[in-house]
Amino acid sequence: MYEVSVKTHFSAAHHLNDYSGDCSFQHGHNWDVEVFLRGENLNKSGMLMDFKDVKESLKSVVDTVDHKDLNTLDAFSDKSPTSENIAYFLYTQLSARINNKETRIHRVCVRETAGTGTSYWEADGRND
């Protein structure tokens, strides 16, 4: 099994719904994002997937949240834009763009700060 990872970041504002504490007020973060892809076979060039292609897909998804008020986006209309829900959103969006029979998004990690973060993945038996 091979695993490839790519990191990026984005800045956005949000507030947490149904939360009693400072984060219920509008504030912002510079989120770090790391995406992990897995697969068993390499292409003819000896790569699981070209980093350039992963970066392009990741940028297209991250651009939808970068410098936005996350609470106003359709993706978070029925849920609070927590790091957990952001990781899920990025995972599903990237999976739709990248997953094929050879390569799949395994996990997406989102960090609000250097010391806090969350990950989302689906335990489907293939990439646990």
User: Annotated active-site positions, please?
Assistant: 23, 67, 112
CB 33 within 8 A of CB 7: yes
Q: Which residues face 92 on adjacent strands?
A: none
In a 3-state reduction of DSSP, which class is residue 14? strand
Q: What is the DSSP letter of 31?
A: E
Helices and strands (H and E) in the chain: how many:
2, 5
